[in-house]
Amino acid sequence: MMKAVFETEFFKDNIVNVDFWYTTSDDNSLDFVHGVSHYVEKLTGVINWEPRFVTWACPMCPDDYKEANCVSDGKYCAMRKNSNLRISGAELLHEDLRQFCLHSLTKDHESSGIFFGAKELAMSKLINSKALAPQAIYFEYLKRAHELYETRISEEESEKLMDNFGIDFGKIQECVNETFEGPNH
């Protein structure tokens, strides 16, 4: 069963803010993202899409459980909706964070330096000319990852996929590491 709650607020800038909560371990969530992505990409001028990730805390869990399924000593543990996954809960959380960082860095692509090589100029031109919205890169990554990797994406697979987009995986990893080392982690 999937539950959706829709709340509306009206702002002077006429931008709709959408927070979407999901986990990469849930096929329904990924199917939804895949299905809605082409609509969101077309509406990026009026929709501010923010991915949010579902986790739970288990600071009192055994150390071996936390090592396999959590990060930050049990502060964040993965929601494992699919027991047939070939990656651990901790790896799921890392992929969720890579996706969060990809979204954040492509949204602020001019200052983040996320693109590299010849693709940097091409992507910047597309984004600056508004032929490609920064959010479109995030959604395209999610769609391709979901299509290519049935049982979820590992760090190596994520790096290959991002490399195909001309995304500097090192920048993504820096963002992930900064997130773990932040004031509340």
* Average pLDDT estimate for 100-108: 84
State yes or no: pLDDT of 110 exceeds 70: no
- Quote the mean pLDDT of the chain: 78
Residue 161 counted as domain residue: yes
Residue 9 counted as domain residue: no
Residue 6 counted as domain residue: no
Closest by CA to 89, choosing from 31, 42, 25, is 25
- Could you report the per-residue pLDDT of 5-20, keeping only the tens digit for each? 766 666 677 778 888 8
User: How would residue 33 be classed by pLDDT, with cut points 50, 70 and 90?
Assistant: confident
Residue 38 counted as domain residue: yes
Residue 78 counted as domain residue: yes
pLDDT: is 16 or 72 the higher one?
72
Residue 1 counted as domain residue: no
User: How would residue 58 be classed by pLDDT, with cut points 50, 70 and 90?
Assistant: very high
Closest by CA to 48, choosing from 9, 12, 19, is 19
Range of 176's domain?
Answer: 16-181
According to the per-residue pLDDT averaged within each range, which of 32-36, 84-88, 123-127, 171-175 is highest?
Answer: 171-175
pLDDT of residue 128: 60
State yes or no: pLDDT of 60 exceeds 90: yes
Closest by CA to 72, choosing from 57, 83, 62, 82, is 57
* Average pLDDT estimate for 23-51: 78
Could you give the CA distance from residue 133 to residue 42 in angstroms, rounded to a whole number? 8
Number of domains in the chain: 1
